[in-house]
Amino acid sequence: MKKGNRPVLVRPGGKDSPVWAWEETPGSVCLRLPLPPSVNARLTPGYRWVSRYRYGVLERLRKPVLRHTERSTTYLEHTPLVRAALGKLGFRALDGYANFRFIFFLENLAYDTHNGFKLACDLLEMGGAVTDDKYILAQTARPIHAPSDPRLVVSFPREPDQNSP
């Protein structure tokens, strides 16, 4: 799906869509996703350690914080957009092991990429990139500091690995 020398960019939700897809090379697909929410304690404190005498206690902060389950549910609401973007590219879900390359563009380098990766894998499975997220063999690039446009770019092949069972 190329238009001249440039790949066709698919934005299923319109011009302001948070999910974009394009064909990187004839055999691979690229997805631009919003950055998954971080559950890093330094970014979302719910409790703090207070020393009292020889012992410490956890004291709940007065400011309410969003629970991880609420944030992950909000993130997984992008599933129809991922499914529509892959559908417009004529992509069929992978039913075997494949190398996925994850590039994190972060606004804060204290971001918890491990948990963000797990949430992104769930979104890819629910969005129709793979039949089961156990087939995702991750190649994670180093995090890139991009405070103006935080995002996650995932590229993966159209076909599973040749040695896949």
pLDDT at 110: 77
pLDDT over 80 (residue 146):
yes
Average pLDDT over residues 73-80: 83
CATH number, span 2-157: 3.30.1330.70
| Token representation of residue 51 | 């020393």
CA distance 58 to 32: 39
Cα 79–chain centre separation: 11
Per-state percent for the chain, helix, strand, coil, to nearest 5:
25, 35, 45
pLDDT at 54: 57
What are the extents of the domains in the chain? Answer: 2-157
Contact between 148 and 105 under an 8 Å Cβ cutoff? The reply is no
pLDDT at 136: 92
Tell me how crowded residue 77 is: count the other CB atoms within 10 A of its CB.
9
pLDDT digits (tens, 9 = 90+) for 37-76: 776 544 444 555 555 555 555 555 544 444 555 666 778 8
pLDDT over 90 (residue 130):
yes
Q: Does 148 or 24 have the greater pLDDT score?
A: 148
Average pLDDT over residues 130-152: 88
Which amino acid is it at 140? T
pLDDT band, residue 113 (cuts 50/70/90): confident
CA distance 39 to 149: 19
pLDDT at 164: 59
